[in-house]
Amino acid sequence: MSLSPARVLAALNAVRPPDQASPVMGKAVVIGGSIAGMLAARVLSDYAESVVVIDRDDLQATGGRPGVPQGTQLHALLPGGFLQLEQLFPGFREQALAQGAIEAPPAARRNYLDGRLKVVVPDDADSLAGSRPLLESLIRQQVLRLPNVKTVTARATGLVFDGPVASGVRCDVGGSPGVEHADLVVDAMGRSSRLSDWLAEAGWERPALRRMTVHLNYATALFRRDEADPEHTVVLALHSPTTSVDVAGAAFFAIEDGRWMAMMAGYGEHRPGRTAEDFVRRLREQFPPEFATVADSEILGDVQTYRHADSRRRDFHAVTRLPGGLVSVGDAVASFNPVYGQGITAAALHAACLAHYLRPGPDLGLPAHHFFALQKIVVDAAWSISTSADLALPHVDGPYPRGYRLSSWVSRQIVAATVTDVTTARRFNDVVSMRKHPSSLVTPRVILGALRANRRAR
Cis check: omega of the bond before 399, within 30 degrees of 0: yes
Neighbours of 166 (CB within 10 A): 28
CA distance 298 to 303: 13
For the segment 146-165, give every residue that binds ligand FAD (CB under 6 A). 155-156
Residues that contact ligand FAD, how many (by CB under 6 A): 35
Backbone angle region of 54, left / alpha / beta, with phi > 0 → left and psi within -120 to 50 → alpha: beta
Nearer to ligand FAD, 317 or 450 (CB): 317
Contact pick of 347, 410, 415, 450 for ligand FAD (by CB under 6 A)? 347
Sheet holding 165-173, edge to edge: 155-162, 165-173, 176-181
Contact pick of 25, 51, 53, 75 for ligand FAD (by CB under 6 A)? 75
The three-state secondary structure class of 214 is strand
Nearer to ligand FAD, 343 or 438 (CB): 343
* 249 sits near ligand FAD (criterion: CB under 6 A): no
Nearer to ligand FAD, 127 or 411 (CB): 127
Measured torsion, CA atoms of residues 371, 374, 377, 380, in degrees rounded to the nearest 10? 0
Give 163: exposed, middle or buried? Use CB within 10 Å, 0-12, 13-18, 19+: exposed
Residues near 409 by beta carbon (within 8 Å), at least 6 away in sequence: none
Stretch that binds ligand FAD, among 187-195, 274-282, 377-385, 406-414 (CB under 6 A): 187-195
* 344 sits near ligand FAD (criterion: CB under 6 A): yes
CA distance 382 to 350: 12
Smallest gap from residue 445 Cβ to ligand FAD (A): 30
Smallest gap from residue 194 Cβ to ligand FAD (A): 6
* 273 sits near ligand FAD (criterion: CB under 6 A): no
Q: From 106, 79, 107, select the one nearest 93 (Cα to Cα).
A: 79
Q: From 13, 322, 303, select the one nearest 164 (Cα to Cα).
A: 322
Q: One-letter amino acid identity for 78?
A: L
Q: One-letter amino acid identity for 421?
A: D
Residues near 275 by beta carbon (within 8 Å), at least 6 away in sequence: 303
Smallest gap from residue 263 Cβ to ligand FAD (A): 8
Contact pick of 82, 198, 218, 372 for ligand FAD (by CB under 6 A)? 218
Binding pattern for the stretch 33-72 against ligand FAD, x by CB under 6 A and - elsewhere: xxxxx----------------xxxx---------xx-x--
Neighbours of 25 (CB within 10 A): 19
Nearer to ligand FAD, 125 or 366 (CB): 125
CA distance 99 to 76: 17
Smallest gap from residue 58 Cβ to ligand FAD (A): 10
For residues 265 and 140, the answer to whether their CB atoms sit within 8 Å is no
Nearer to ligand FAD, 345 or 413 (CB): 345
* 73 sits near ligand FAD (criterion: CB under 6 A): yes
Smallest gap from residue 69 Cβ to ligand FAD (A): 8
Instruction: Check residue 403 and report its DSSP letter.
Output: T
Binding pattern for the stretch 303-342 against ligand FAD, x by CB under 6 A and - elsewhere: ---x-x---------------------xxx-----x--xx
Backbone angle region of 85, left / alpha / beta, with phi > 0 → left and psi within -120 to 50 → alpha: alpha
Smallest gap from residue 165 Cβ to ligand FAD (A): 21
* 449 sits near ligand FAD (criterion: CB under 6 A): no
Smallest gap from residue 177 Cβ to ligand FAD (A): 13
Binding site for ligand FAD (CB under 6 A): 31-37, 54-57, 67-68, 70, 73, 75-76, 155-156, 188-190, 218, 306, 308, 330-332, 338, 341-345, 347
